[in-house]
Amino acid sequence: MKKGMLIILSGPSGVGKGTVRQELFKDESLNLSYSISMTTRKPRPTETEGVDYFFVDEKTFVDKVAKGELLEWARFVGNYYGTPKEHVDKLLNEGKNVVLEIEVQGALQVMKKCPDALTIFLVPPSLEELEKRIRGRRTESEDIVKERMDKARKEIKTKDEYKYVVTNDDVNVAKEKIAQIIRENQQ
Ligand code: 5GP
């Protein structure tokens, strides 16, 4: 069976990666599977274990890193995040197109290991709009909002490392652009 495509969907926190991803997953013709990440962050009230993330303690996470079980990992605003490797390999071997929804440091690691990965960076229409979206989520304290915005300014500077940059002004438009990119890269 032909292996699936590895797709990195990156961009600053709050840009709407999750919302765009959910729209993409409604299109079955794209043959997508989601790689559920592992994190030491505490779950938000809306999040479910094993659906949004595998929520683990720091020791478990560090053990996984030491055993080489993560394809990539990063520390992001006080917490660890990483991609369990075995599951991604399994899905790719089953011919699925696997989406990693990850921040920049992790994306850069995957680009080095898997140069054929399809890499997409989502940018907000403006930094003001990004801040509005992070605040609108109402899940982060003022300090964390500030840290996430500082991080976003740095992350946006790396956008040229990606094969495609898509502006998330309107979710449906962004979704359609990305769907088109996936179709074009699918041989
Ligand atoms: P949040 O705490 O908002 O869920 O995620 C914070 C950031 O970490 C987001 O940019 C999110 O895409 C990213 N992230 C989620 N999972 C992973 C992962 O497995 N690896 C990396 N490097 N970043 C991740």
Give residue 124's pLDDT band: very low, low, confident or very high (50, 70, 90): very high
Within-domain flag for 23: yes
Within-domain flag for 48: yes
Within-domain flag for 159: yes
Q: Is the pLDDT of residue 108 over 90?
A: yes
pLDDT at 1: 81
Judge if the beta carbon of residue 101 lies within 6 A of ligand 1.
yes
Give residue 140's pLDDT band: very low, low, confident or very high (50, 70, 90): confident
Within-domain flag for 64: yes
Based on the structure, what is the number of domains in the chain? Answer: 1
Mean pLDDT of the chain: 95
Rounded to two decimals, the pTM is 0.94
Judge if the beta carbon of residue 103 lies within 6 A of ligand 1.
yes
Give residue 139's pLDDT band: very low, low, confident or very high (50, 70, 90): confident
Judge if the beta carbon of residue 155 lies within 6 A of ligand 1.
no
Within-domain flag for 137: yes
Provide the sign of the torsion angle of the four alpha carbons 14, 130, 133, 180, taken in this order. Answer: negative
Q: Which residue has the higher pLDDT, 123 or 144?
A: 123
Q: Is the pLDDT of residue 163 over 90?
A: yes
Mutate which of 87, 102, 140, 154 for ligand 1 pocket (most atoms within 8 A of beta carbon) = 102
Give residue 31's pLDDT band: very low, low, confident or very high (50, 70, 90): very high
User: Residue for token digits 């290991």?
Assistant: 113
CATH classification of the domain holding 20: 3.40.50.300
Burial (CB < 10 A; 0-12, 13-18, 19+), residue 179, is middle
Tokens of 55: 């929520």
| Domain hosting residue 134, numbered range | 6-185
Within-domain flag for 97: yes
Within-domain flag for 93: yes
pLDDT digits (tens, 9 = 90+) for 88-98: 999 999 999 99
pLDDT (average), residues 59-82: 97
Within-domain flag for 1: no
Judge if the beta carbon of residue 33 lies within 6 A of ligand 1.
no
